[in-house]
Structure 1
Amino acid sequence: MSLPTLEEVLRVSEACGEIHQSYADHVMLCAFLAARGAEVSGLRVGDADWGSGTVLIERQSYPGAGGIVTKPTKSRRPRRVPIVQLIEPTPHRLTAQRPATAPLLRGPRGGVITTASLRDATHWDALVAEMELQGLRRHNLRHVGATWFANSGVPLHVIADILGHASIETTRTYLHTEDAALAKAAISFDQHLGEASAQP
């Protein structure tokens, strides 16, 4: 399936928020930080650095046999992700007057939100099918964020750093060209040909 548009992601977030606000926040953070679900669960209040306008992603949290397991990210390298304007209200609300070591986001009962718990609590498959987004998985939100960065003109090596990829080739597999970007490419192409043909 093609990746959802910005409007569709916002609609999915809003629908999840009707179940509980934490689910809406999880969707927004995964998409706009281009982060894995476990990485969003691993964020702490102090990871939002308003001075630099970035979020530090250096750990992931998920339920384990003995409780919540917290360990480094998949790449084992900390990375900083810019806080874009559309996501700003979410971390602002989640960090306001809270201790730096507190988890940034937890579910309605105080637990870690996993892709499975998000799926079950929101009836995800039925929810996205109703929106005609069949096949949209929670992890696709990370791909969406990466694609938004790419189609905004962010260089590939910067996107690789945002995603925590050691290889730019891995980053390429995350990117999907949006129809709007294709239309923009056609306009640029036509303009270029028009200028070339106008020259003597």
Structure 2
Amino acid sequence: MEGLRPMVAQRLLAAGDSPDARIFSGPRGGRISGAVLRDATHWDDGVAELGFEHLRRHDLRHTGLTWFADAGVPPHVLRKIAGHGSLTTTQRYPHPDAHRITAGAALSARLSVVRAPRSLPSPIVVAR
């Protein structure tokens, strides 16, 4: 992965500040189409060889955003990463693992502390 850093940095510099600039472009310039990406990565052959014919490239986008969300990245940042115009769209992407959802356990633990009966002080006995 470290070998990619200089290449991406160089492409970022070359792209400049134009809102239409692309770090990577298709063989004829412009956007990289799904067909070009599928062919360049041999996606269909790879997933078939692994036995995951049902896996789509877009599923990786959902997985990536789920991992970011599980790592604590706030939804408004996820929206920027995904390039979504609406937070509503972004909220459809993360699919948290049920084992990672600890809010219920944390709330239960807190409520058990709050509801726990306090020990009453022992009655004061006055000697006569």
TM over 0.5: yes
Structure 2 CA distance for partners of 1:138 and 1:90, relative to 1, 3 Å: farther
Q: Is the counterpart of residue 197 in structure 1 residue 112 in structure 2?
A: yes
The residue type equivalent to 2:101 in the other structure is A
Matches within 5 A, 1:1-200: 89=2, 91-95=4-8, 100-101=13-14, 104-105=23-24, 114-177=33-96, 179=97, 182-186=98-102, 189-197=104-112, 199-200=116-117
* TM-score of the pair, normalised by structure 2: 0.58
Unaligned segments of structure 1, at least 5 residues:
1-86
The alpha-carbon deviation at position 169 of structure 1 amounts to: 1.0
The alpha-carbon deviation at position 163 of structure 1 amounts to: 2.1
Unaligned segments of structure 2, at least 5 residues:
16-21, 118-128
1:1-28 CA distance string (max 9 Å, x none): xxxxxxxxxxxxxxxxxxxxxxxxxxxx
The residue type equivalent to 2:108 in the other structure is L
How many residues of Structure 1 are paired with residues of Structure 2 in the alignment?
107
The residue type equivalent to 2:86 in the other structure is S
Structural RMSD (CA) = 3.3
Structure 2 CA distance for partners of 1:90 and 1:105, relative to 1, 3 Å: farther
* TM-score of the pair, normalised by structure 1: 0.41
RCO (CA 8 Å, sep 6+): is it higher in 1 or 2?
1
The alignment partner of 1:101 has SS state of: helix
